[in-house]
């Protein structure tokens, strides 16, 4: 387990409107808007303020800034061509790690945390749209690319999915867990 297990313990929820939520949005602007030139109107969307969206953060040691962040939502059955037999997938989105924190397992820790939360609500699959440069990262974590590459915010992406363990049941709720 090593580094990933230690980091997962540092993953905390960032409820809407809290200082950690604002820190997460700030980090996403730094990574996606400043570094990758994604227009702010494409980076920031209605899901950020939706109570059904779950935001997670690994705080930097100062506890005021985010070292890494991710959000997830539950999508409808059959979303993005995922087998309807897998039920409603969890959609992992907006994974961002601050430049100074990259290479330390924080991204993998956030993916693990999303998968744990997805399994806890009974989801059978986690979906994401990976930037071309991140496909190998997600592949190492057990995600499978499918379909043709597609542009999103001017960046080539791939659909990717990971089917969770066989013991998981279909989601019984449509809201993320509290916290």
Closest CA to 161 of 138, 137, 177, 132: 138
Question: pLDDT tens-digit profile of 85-96?
Answer: 999 999 999 999
Q: Distance (Å, rounded) from C-alpha 36 to C-alpha 132? A: 13
Does 51 fall in a domain? Answer: yes
Distances (CA, A) of 151 to 22, 70, 96: 28, 21, 19
Domain of residue 110 covers 2-163
What one-character-per-residue DSSP string does 18-37 give? SHHHHHHHHHHIIIIIIIT-
Question: pLDDT tens-digit profile of 101-118?
Answer: 999 999 999 999 999 999
Pairing of strands 144-152, 155-163: antiparallel
Does this model's pTM top 0.75?
yes
Does 81 fall in a domain? Answer: yes
Q: What is the CATH classification number for the domain harbouring 157?
A: 3.40.630.30
Does 176 fall in a domain? Answer: no
Q: How many domains does one find in the chain?
A: 1
Does 173 fall in a domain? Answer: no
Does 178 fall in a domain? Answer: no
């Amino acid at each position: 387990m090593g580094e990933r297990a230690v980091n997962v313990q540092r993953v905390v929820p960032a409820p809407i409107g809290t200082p950690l939520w604002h820190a997460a949005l700030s980090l996403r602007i730094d990574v996606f808007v400043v570094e990758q030139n994604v227009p702010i109107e494409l980076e920031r969307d209605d899901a950020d303020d939706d109570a059904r969206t779950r935001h997670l953060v690994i705080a930097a040691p100062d506890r005021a800034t985010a070292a890494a962040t991710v959000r997830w939502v539950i999508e409808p059955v059959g979303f993005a061509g995922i087998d309807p037999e897998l039920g409603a997938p969890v959609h992992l989105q907006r994974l961002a790690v601050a430049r100074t924190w990259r290479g330390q397992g924080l991204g993998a820790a956030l993916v693990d945390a999303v998968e744990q939360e997805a399994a806890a609500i009974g989801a059978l699959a986690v979906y994401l749209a990976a930037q071309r440069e991140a496909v190998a990262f997600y592949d190492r974590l057990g995600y499978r690319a499918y379909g043709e590459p597609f542009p999103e915010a001017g960046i080539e992406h791939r659909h990717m999915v990971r089917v969770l363990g066989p013991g998981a049941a279909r989601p019984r709720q449509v809201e993320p867990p509290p916290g």
